[in-house]
Structure 1
Amino acid sequence: MVSRKLMGFWALFDVCLLAAGVVSIIFSVVYRKQDILLNLTISKADLTAALVMGIMLVATFIFSIGAIIQKNHVTIGLVILNYILVADAVVVLVIGSFVWFFSLQQRNNYHALYVELPASSRVFIQDKFSCCGYFNGSDAVEPSTFCTSSQIAFTNALDPSDVNNADSFCVTKVTAFTDYTLNQMFSYTYGFMPIVLGLLLFSLCVINKRKEDERFKKIDAKRGGRGFV
């Protein structure tokens, strides 16, 4: 018989899998709100990927309940569950790695996105961070409350390669926000991997234990039900 301790660990990781799926779905829904900096940092594709991943993890949890309640000699459900968990692990790895790789080239990656923003959004960012232009004073700059004609002229005269002038341009302040957000995203995503792999490991243990119990039952039956002692 499968020990209570083993089943307890299996149940713990299964509940954690459900929690991971729910967190991913909530993230996808909540971060669709209208927020200029968040919308710049997190694309609709990212939110859709989080939603798909969350649905997959919740669906895996639901399937796992049906698999674990099968009779002791029926292990096909748990075998299928393990294949599903492998697919979940691949999805988690791909999504987490995509966000991580994107975060390595933020200054250039977000430049393309920054340029595509509406002028009103760039005005908001300039006034919020008290900066003018992205890489330099003439790069995608918009007249705003902070970026007056004189301020734009002053910023445009600064040397972008001088670290002392970094705070005058928007790239440093924008990527400081995006870096924190992206780090949180791929850290949480990679954090789902131990849960998926842990459940996979304990499912394998349950399968082996159930097969072992069935094998001893058959041996016991051949001995006339007298046991080994």
Structure 2
Amino acid sequence: MIFVAFDFIFAGCGGLLLGFSLSSEQRLRQSPTVDNVAQNLLLGQCPLTAGVVNSIFIFVTFLLSLPALFLPTNRGWLRAQGWLVVFCATFTLGLGLAIWVETLQTRSNLSNIWARETPLIQSLLQQKFNCCGYFNSTAPPFVQDNLCINSLVAAQKGGCIGQFSSFANKYLDLIFTAAFGIVGIDSVLVLCVAMVLNWRQEQERYRHIDEKNGLGGL
């Protein structure tokens, strides 16, 4: 029953991964606003397409596990499921590590993102974090808008690097922590598969012993 429970939790993780990836891609197509501009810039750096592919592998693995559930003496399907779960866990771990590495270089990465964005996006970021410019109001120059109306005001507000970096780290931490959590569930499922496989192997051995003793495999 524990094996069955974690098998369905495993499928649920695939649904969570697929839902997050598709909803994030949909959000990226929306017009930028103060509320979504920072999240969208960060999501644009995440491997969302790879997340969709990973979720498809998870669903395929779950479907292949169904024969193992309904065939109580079969071990071939269990072995196939075990190896596929290991593959899915490795895939998910790779995605989580890719995002985690991004957090190790947050400031330099955000600097590059800021530099290549349009003045409209930079202005929205300034309004969101109540700041002017990235490092400060002059390097790179701030975008003049309703918040940063002149150089004096911009100098008093300070740059966005601190607030933007803090926001990015917290947001990306949630994403890669969730990915590592899915890997943890995959690991438990692999252990469950191994234990069920071992139990079925023992049952098969006892059946052969009973047949040799003339008990008809009871």
* TM-score > 0.5, shorter chain as reference: yes
Kindly report which structure 2 residues correspond to 1:47-126, keeping only aligned pairs within 5 A, or say none.
47-72=48-73, 74-126=74-126
In 1, the alpha carbon distance for the partners of 2:41 and 2:141 equals: 15
Cα RMSD for the two superposed structures:
2.0
Partner of 1:9: 2
Task: Confirm or deny that 1:176 pairs with 2:166.
Answer: yes
In 2, the alpha carbon distance for the partners of 1:224 and 1:128 equals: 79
When residues 140 and 87 of structure 1 are mapped into structure 2, their CA distance, relative to the original with a 3 A threshold, is farther
Pairs aligned (count): 209
Counterpart amino acid of residue 170 in structure 1: C
Counterpart amino acid of residue 120 in structure 1: L
Counterpart amino acid of residue 68 in structure 1: L
In 1, the alpha carbon distance for the partners of 2:141 and 2:24 equals: 26
Indicate conservation of the 8 Å contact 2:96/2:180, yes or no: yes
Partner of 2:133: 133
Indicate conservation of the 8 Å contact 1:21/1:55, yes or no: yes
Partner of 1:46: 47
Residue by residue over 1:169-223, the C-alpha shift from the partner in whole angstroms, topping out at 9 and shown as x without a partner, is 1111112221111010011000011211111111111111111111111111111
Question: Bigger CA drift: 32-41 or 83-92?
Answer: 32-41
Partner of 1:30: 23
Counterpart amino acid of residue 171 in structure 2: T
Per the TM alignment, residue 140 of structure 1 is displaced from its structure 2 partner at its CA by: 4.7
Question: Bigger CA drift: 141-150 or 187-196?
Answer: 141-150
Indicate conservation of the 8 Å contact 1:126/1:132, yes or no: yes
When residues 140 and 103 of structure 1 are mapped into structure 2, their CA distance, relative to the original with a 3 A threshold, is farther
In our comparison, the structure showing a higher alpha carbon Rg is 1
Counterpart amino acid of residue 171 in structure 1: I
Provide the secondary structure at the position in 2 that maps to 1:144.
Answer: coil
In 2, the alpha carbon distance for the partners of 1:13 and 1:199 equals: 6
In 1, the alpha carbon distance for the partners of 2:179 and 2:69 equals: 26
Per the TM alignment, residue 46 of structure 1 is displaced from its structure 2 partner at its CA by: 2.0
Provide the secondary structure at the position in 2 that maps to 1:147.
Answer: coil
Percent of residue pairs identical: 27
Indicate conservation of the 8 Å contact 2:68/2:78, yes or no: yes
Task: Confirm or deny that 1:19 pairs with 2:12.
Answer: yes
When residues 80 and 29 of structure 1 are mapped into structure 2, their CA distance, relative to the original with a 3 A threshold, is same
Indicate conservation of the 8 Å contact 1:131/1:169, yes or no: yes
In 1, the alpha carbon distance for the partners of 2:64 and 2:213 equals: 37
Per the TM alignment, residue 43 of structure 1 is displaced from its structure 2 partner at its CA by: 1.6
5+ long unaligned stretches in structure 1:
1-7, 159-166
Indicate conservation of the 8 Å contact 2:21/2:52, yes or no: yes
Indicate conservation of the 8 Å contact 2:100/2:172, yes or no: yes
Per the TM alignment, residue 49 of structure 1 is displaced from its structure 2 partner at its CA by: 2.2
Normalising by structure 2, report the TM-score. 0.88
Per the TM alignment, residue 30 of structure 1 is displaced from its structure 2 partner at its CA by: 1.7
Partner of 1:201: 191
Indicate conservation of the 8 Å contact 2:46/2:99, yes or no: no
